[in-house]
Amino acid sequence: MKHHIENFRRWLKLLNFAESTIYSNPRYIKNFTDYLEATGIKTIQDIENRHIKEYYEYLKVRPNKRRPGALSPNSIISNINAIKRFTKYLRETEQTHITINIKPERIRPEISILSTEEIQILYKVCGSDILGIRDRAMLSIYYGCGLRRTEGIQLNTEDIIFNKSMIFIKKTKTGRQRYVPMSEPVKNDLTNYINNARIHLIKNKSETGLFIGMKGKRMGGTGIIARLKILLKKAEIQEEKIISTGLHTLRHSIATHLLNSGMNLENVSRFLGHRSLESTQIYTHINKY
């Protein structure tokens, strides 16, 4: 079944899925096909819906390979979603007619949120030097625009459409492109960064990445998170909160703040790029700040 996995990877790439999905989903499917082969299923055509249901039950009790204990509910959901995409790929290439009717149990996740006051302090502690200007632009992308971690990393300067006050997101978690509006403060922060900081960071004019590191190349998630942690410490945020805060915390925070300010669920969902309101509803259960 090895060639099916590689073809599945190409299919995901062709449909413009996020890099994280292109990387993780084939790995999930490799685990799934290894399980099938161990139970005697040798070809794609032999797979039946009951085999997927049995695999779902197996995932519930399978030990976690990276740490003690079982798989988290989110990991199980990610595995099943990957199999759903895989069977869709198989149906579209006429290799099977399987339709998955499994709906994994969703457990409401613990969501870390920064208050509006804490967000304001983060902006205030950004320096006026090159790195400080970049820090402020990062906050504007991840908080002001609510982008996912990978969406921000993959941004190019050409994706910032200043004359329309929009940011074009080419690759998303759902595989669908979207436009995100820029407020005037976000627009000002990005203009300042591109004109007065990024220009001093790039070493090669052909570099298209928006966020540039000290080596003159596109920054990765680790570097951006490290800068966020520095800001959190400067802002004297509680240590426990610093540990649990990541780039997605900024996305969670803007969603919560928009809902608390009166924006309706449908508009917040559209702003975040969610496929369904169900994904956005988790923010309605968070205490107001």
145 Ramachandran zone, left/alpha/beta (phi>0; psi -120 to 50): alpha
Nearest CA-CA partner of 161 in 136, 187, 200: 187
Q: Which of 92, 126, 159 lies at the terminal end of a domain, its last residue?
A: 92
Q: Is residue 99 part of a domain?
A: no
Q: pLDDT in tens for each of the 289 residues of the chain?
A: 778 899 999 999 988 887 788 989 999 999 999 999 998 887 878 888 888 889 989 998 888 776 677 787 878 888 989 998 998 988 888 776 766 666 666 655 567 789 999 999 999 999 999 999 999 999 999 999 999 999 999 999 999 999 999 999 987 776 778 899 999 999 999 999 999 999 999 999 899 999 999 999 999 989 999 999 999 999 999 888 888 898 999 999 999 999 888 998 888 888 888 877 777 776 765 654 4
Report how many domains make up the chain: 2
- Structural domain for 79, as ranges: 2-92
Q: Is residue 281 part of a domain?
A: no
pTM exceeding the 0.75 threshold for the entire prediction: no
Question: What is the end-to-end Cα distance of the chain in Å, rounded?
Answer: 51
77 & 125 share domain: no
88 & 120 share domain: no
84 & 123 share domain: no
Assign residue 78 the CATH number of its domain. Answer: 1.10.150.130
Q: Residues of 189-212 as b/e, b for ≥16 C-beta within 10 angstroms?
A: bbebbbeebbeebbeeeebebbbb
Q: What are the residue numbers of the active site?
A: 148, 173, 248, 251, 274, 283
Q: Is residue 284 part of a domain?
A: no
CA 2, 78, 255, 148 torsion: positive or negative?
negative
Q: Is residue 271 part of a domain?
A: no
